[in-house]
Structure 1
Amino acid sequence: MKALILVAGMFGLAAIAIPAEANAVVCARGVVRAGCAGPGGAVVARRPVPRAVVVRPAPVRCAIVNGRRVCR
């Protein structure tokens, strides 16, 4: 029984003492760009440039009323 406890204790210490490989990924979002860094490398992406909003003017509606052109 003592041998079994000794072997289990040694196995437990070995599992704690041997460091495991870290596979963490860290991501951050900044004002200009965002990026992630992990064990395989890093990736950076820029934010898209906002496009100008173009508003088409309303069409001019004209009609002939009593022989005169009326546009509204």
Structure 2
Amino acid sequence: MRALVAERALPGLAIALLGDPEWWVRLAAIDNVPPEQLAALADDPEPEVRAAALARLSPTTAVRPEERT
């Protein structure tokens, strides 16, 4: 349930969910936070969370909002 909330959360709530103990909640919140909040996730213990945060921070993998699914 928290992951579903994280996927739809406004940035303020999504930022708080980046600290959730469950990795899938952190992963779900990544697309809803400002990029400057993602640097801390570069050291996340979960490889999938790290990869998603770094991909979002990388200008070569940036996706325009209208292209997101």
TM-score bracket, normalised by the shorter chain, equals under 0.3
* Relative contact order higher in (CA < 8 Å, ≥ 6 apart): 2
Q: Which has the larger radius of gyration?
A: 1
Q: Per residue, is there more helix in 1 or in 2?
A: 2
TM-score, structure 1 normalization: 0.18
Q: Per residue, is there more strand in 1 or in 2?
A: 1
